[in-house]
Chain A
C-alpha cells in the first residue's frame, strides 16, 4: 500500500500535468488576465511611491511649499488610493479564481469517483481519497490563484525597482543591485529548507495524531497489558521528533528572515555610501538618495515571495499529478459502445411495454453464472468455476466461512465487479451487453454494516425511490418493521439520523436499510445478514421484515440466521472460492457434510440464546 501514502516530494516540473491543470482553470482566463494587470499596477504604484517621496523632498528643499509641491503631494495621495483599489481588485479576482478552481476540480473529481469501479476503491482508503478532494484541490487552486499573482507582482516589482534605480542613476543602481543575486540564492536555499522541514512537521503531526487515536481506542488493552509506561516512552520518541522538526523549522526562519533583511540593509548602506559621494559631487540630489535608500528596503519582499512560490510550485507537483491521474482514470466497468448506441437509439423511440431502455426484456426470468471465476488485480484468486442458474422468485442462501467467496459472488451479481473468467447471463444474455445503470436499478441491497446518510429518517428511506409518496414510504417502513420504532423516536420520520446514521443503533439502521430496499421494489434482492448481535426484539423485527421481502422475489442472501437459511430454496456452501455443497436444507443435512457442521454450530448458539433470554 506504499503508493497510497501522501508524498509531497518536490518533483521535476511536469509540463503535461500542469497543462492539464491549467485547462481546468480555463474558464477563469479573463479573471487571470485581470489579476495580472492588477499585480502589475500594484507593482507600479509601489515603485512610484519612493520616487515621489524623493521628488517631494527635493522640491521643498529647493523651492519650499509651492504649487508643484502640492501637485506632487496630490500625486502621492492618488497613488496611495490607487494601490488600495488595486489590492481590493486583486484579492477579489484571486479569490474568485482560487475558490472557483477548487470547486471545479472537486466537482470533476467527485463525478469521476461516481463512475469508477470498485476495484479502484478496494485499494484506496477513504481517507486517502478524501484528501485528494480536499487538501490537493485546495493546494492546486492556491497555486493557480495566489502563486500566479505573486509571480507577476514579484517580477513586476523587481523590474520596476531596478528600472527606477537605473533611471535615477545607472551607476549607483547597478552597484546596489549587486546584492540581488546573493539575496535570491539565499532565499531559494532557505525556502527549500523551510518547506522540507514543514513537511517533516506534518509527517510527525500525522504520527502523533495516529498515536493518540490508537492509544484512546486501545485503552483497555493498554491497561490489561500494563503497557502505560512503554506506550508513553514510545510516544515521547514521536513527540520529541516533532519537537526537533518544529524547532528546526523555527530556526531556519529565525536565520533566514534576519539574513535577507540584513542584505537589504547592506543595499541601503551601499546607497548611503556611494550615493552620499554622488550627492557631494552634485551628480544626484538628496531626494534621489532618499529614494535609493527606500528602494533598498523594498527589495527583499518580492524576492522572498518568489522563492517561496517557486518551491511551493515544486511541492504541489505531487498533488497535481494525483488529481490529473484521478481525472484521467477510466472506469473499468462501464457500458460498452454497443450498449451506449442501443441506449441512444431507444432514447428517442417509443419502447414497447416491458422493454428495458437498452432494448432487452425488462423482466429478469433467469440469472445464470456460467463457469465464473474472479481474480483480484493483485492476483489473488477468490472464485473459480462457479456455475449457478436461478429462476425468478427463488431464494438462494450463501453460507460458509468469511473470505470464502460469498461476497464476491454477490458483488459479481451486482456488477460491482465483472468476472475475470466466464460470464453472468440475464435471460441468457451476458450482462456486459446490458445497461449498467439499468442493471443496478433492478437491485435492492442491504449490507451487513448498513450505511445511512446524514439527513432525516424519511430521506434515508426515500433513497430507495426518490419519487416515492409519503404513504409508500410509511408502507415500506411498516413492511420492514421499522415503523414502530420510528414513531417512538422524537420527531419520528423527521428525526435526524446523524452522520453515517450514528444516532441510531445497528439494529435500527438495519431496519431502515431494509425499508429503503423495500421501497425500491427491486427485481433482485441482495442481503448480507449482520453477524453482530442486536437485541432480541429488533432481531425478531428484522427477521420478520426480511421474510416479507423475500416472498416471491429473486434473492441472494449471505446468511447467518437459521430461519433465513432454512427458508431458502437452495443453499450454497462456499469454501475457498468453490461451491462445495448445493441443495435444500433437508438434503444437505442428510448428507452430513460441511453444511451439517456449520449448521450444528450455528444451531447450538441460537438455541442458547433462546433458552436463556435476556431478562430471564
Chain B
C-alpha cells in the first residue's frame, strides 16, 4: 500500500489525465468488442437467408443493423459498421496513448527535475558518502524503470483487466457454456507466465552479470592498454576476454533457450484454447445449440483477449523491479537538504565587508577524527591572509567551512562580526569566490564558464578578468577563442589553464572575499609572478585568502598562518615570523639564499 501511495504521489497533477487515458481505453475496448457481434449478426443473417434452421438468439446487434433481412440486402451496412467500429476504437486508443504518454512522461519529467534540484541542494557531507556512478544510475536507469512502469505496464494491466471486464459479460450473455469453454484457459495462461518469469529471474540476472564481467574486462583492457602493451600481455588479455565473452554468450544463449521453452509453451496454451473453442463450438453448432455466427464471434473474442493476457504474466513478474527502483529514487529525495540558517539575519547588506574571525575552531569529517584543532585567527576587510602548510594540514577544510559546505564545526566562525550560521548559505557563497587546486569547469564554452562568475558582466570586463588571470592569450590562441567548448566534447585544458580560467571566473565575480586554495600550483613560475603582481594591485578591493606551499606566493600577505596537521603552529607578518625561530624562518632561509642551500643539498 505504501508503494501504491508512492506511485500515486508521483502522478500528482496528472492523475486526471491518467484516469482519462484509462477511460479512453475502456471505451475503445468496448467498441472493439462490438465488431465480432456485427460479424455474428451478418453470418447468421446470411445463414438464415440460405435456409439454415439455426435459432438466432440475442439479436440485439442484428436489430441495430435493421434486422436479418435488411442486412442481407444491404451488406455494405455491416461492412461499414465493422470499419466504423475499428475507427472509433482507434480514435479512443489514440487518445489513450496520448493522455497516458502526457501524464506519465510529464510526471517523470518532473521527477527528473526534482532529483536534479534535490541533488544539488544536498549537503557535501551526503555527497561524500555516495558514489557518483550509483547516483547517476538511480537518476537514469531507475527513473527509466519507473517510467516504463507508468507509461506502459500500468496501461497494459489496465487493458487486460478491462478486456476481461468487458468480454466476460458479453460472452455469458451470448452463451454461458461457450463462455466457460472460452475462458477456461485464461487462468492457466496467466499462472504459467507468471510462474515462468518468476522462475527465470535468476537467469536474467546471471546474464546481466556475465555481461557486466565482459564489459569490465573490456573496459579495463582499454583503459590499461599501455600496461597491456608494456608487459606484452596481448595473448593473456585475449584469453581473459575470450573466457568472459564465451561465458556471456553461453548465458545469453541459455536465456534464449529458456525463452524457446516459454514462447512455444505459452503459444500452445493459447492456441489450444482457440482450438478448443473451435472444435467444441463446431460440435455444438452441428447440434444446433449455437449458431455459426456465435461460434465465429467467440473465436474472435478469444483471439482478442488471450494475447494481452499472455503478456500479463511477464508484466506481473516485472512489477517488483519498478518498486525497487522507486525506493532507490526516494532514498535520494528523502535525504535532508542543507539546513537553513538558524536565526537567519533578516536584513542583508549589499555586500560583505570581509572581516573574518575564527575562534577556537575544531572540525571533524568523521566523528572523533579532528582535521582542525582549535584554530583561531582574524583578518580585517581588504587584507590578505596567507595560509602555509603541507597537504593534509587542513587548509582546504578551512575554506570549505567558510563556504558553509560543511556544518558542525565547534568553536565560532564570524563574518563581519556575525556568526557564520546566521548568514543565509546562498547569499554568503555569492559574496565569496574560491579557486580550487583542481577547479571544476562545466562543459560549456570558455566564455560561459568565465561568465558564471557574474552573468551580467560586459564582454570587456570578461576579457579584463581573463587578462588578469593571464589566460586571455591562451584562449585567444584557440581556433574558436572564447567559444571553445571545454571538456569531453571540446578541448582538454591543461591543469594550469583550468586554474587560470577558474581564477578569471572568480575575479569577474568581484567578490568580497577571494580565496585561492593552492590555485596556482600548476601554473609556471613566471606566470604565477605576473598573476600575483596583478592581484597585489587590486589590494584592498577584497579580503584575500591565499593558500599555498611556496613562500614566494605568500610573503607579501598582511598576515601569515603556518598550519600543520590541523593546528596553527605560527602566525604573524613575514617580518614577525622571520624574527621567530620556527619552520617559517627555516623555510625562508632555504629559499632566501637558495643557491647556497641547493648547492649544499645537492652535495649531500
Contacts and interface: CB of A to CB of B under 8 A. Distances in A.
B90 A213 contact: no
Given A223-B124, A265-B86, A604-B587, A208 B112 contact: yes
A65 B282 CA distance: 8
A64 B289 CA distance: 12
B52 A236 contact: no
B514 to A, nearest CB: 12
Contact of B223 (A85, A266, A277, A451): A451
A536 to B, nearest CB: 9
A250 B223 contact: no
20 contacts: A69-B282, A80-B272, A96-B253, A99-B249, A212-B116, A212-B140, A215-B116, A225-B429, A226-B429, A228-B121, A235-B113, A239-B113, A242-B112, A246-B105, A274-B75, A403-B494, A535-B392, A589-B602, A600-B598, A612-B565
Nearest to A125: B488
Contact of B296 (A125, A279, A293, A600): A293
Contact of B440 (A205, A208, A217, A612): A217
Contacts of B220: 451, 453-454, 499-500
B572 interface: no
B335 interface: no
Contacts of A445: 226-227, 230-231
Contact of B259 (A95, A464, A604): A95
B344 to A, nearest CB: 16
A459 B562 CA distance: 45
Interface in B73-111: 75-76, 78-83, 85-87, 89-91, 93-94, 96-98, 100-102, 105-106, 109
A561 to B, nearest CB: 13
Contact of A447 (B132, B227, B271): B227
A243 interface: yes
A232 B429 contact: no
B223 A273 contact: no
B120 A463 contact: no
Interface in A235-280: 235-236, 239-240, 242-243, 246-247, 250-251, 253-255, 257-259, 261-262, 264-266, 268-270, 272-274, 276-277, 279-280
A73 B248 CA distance: 44
Interface in B186-229: 214-216, 218-229
A499 B603 CA distance: 44
Contacts of A608: 388-390, 549, 583, 587
Interface string A135-159: 0000000000000000000000000
Contacts of B56: none
Given A235-B113, A454-B220, A216 B119 contact: yes
Of all A-B residue pairs in the complex, the 3 with the closest CB atoms, nearest first, are A254-B97, A258-B90, A95-B256
B452 A225 contact: yes
B416 interface: no
A592 to B, nearest CB: 7
A280 B599 CA distance: 118
Contact of A217 (B132, B232, B601): B132
Interface stretch (A312-320, A346-354, A435-443): A435-443
- Chain B interface size, as a band, is 35 or more
Contact of B550 (A221, A402, A604, A613): A604
Interface stretch (A14-22, A54-62, A388-396): A54-62
A125 B80 CA distance: 60
Interface stretch (A86-94, A357-365, A419-427, A478-486): A86-94
B432 interface: yes
A551 to B, nearest CB: 20
A453 B237 CA distance: 11
Contacts of A225: 429, 433, 452-453, 505, 509
A231 interface: yes
B224 A251 contact: no
Contact of B286 (A64, A84, A98, A261): A64
B286 to A, nearest CB: 4
Contacts of A3: none
Interface in B446-505: 452-453, 455, 488-489, 494-496, 505
Interface stretch (B4-12, B238-246, B378-386): B238-246
A323 to B, nearest CB: 15
Contact of B94 (A221, A258, A440, A452): A258
A286 interface: yes
Interface stretch (A100-108, A165-173, A337-345, A368-376): A100-108
B101 A254 contact: yes
A228 B113 CA distance: 12
Contacts of B275: 73, 76-77, 80
A134 B76 CA distance: 55
Interface string A400-433: 0111000000000010100000000000000000
A226 B430 contact: yes
A234 to B, nearest CB: 9
B86 A592 contact: no
Given A61-B47, A220-B436, A614-B393, 10 more contacts: A59-B282, A96-B256, A99-B253, A209-B140, A243-B105, A243-B106, A254-B94, A289-B43, A294-B299, A611-B587
B181 interface: no
A566 B602 contact: yes
B234 interface: yes
B440 A218 contact: yes
B46 A91 contact: no
B278 to A, nearest CB: 6
B432 A616 contact: no
B495 A402 contact: yes
Interface stretch (A110-118, A303-311, A541-549): A110-118
A604 B551 contact: yes
B225 A60 contact: no
Nearest to A436: B232
Contacts of B591: 600, 604
B594 interface: yes
A265 B85 contact: yes
B268 A84 contact: yes
Contacts of B430: 226
Contacts of A516: 231
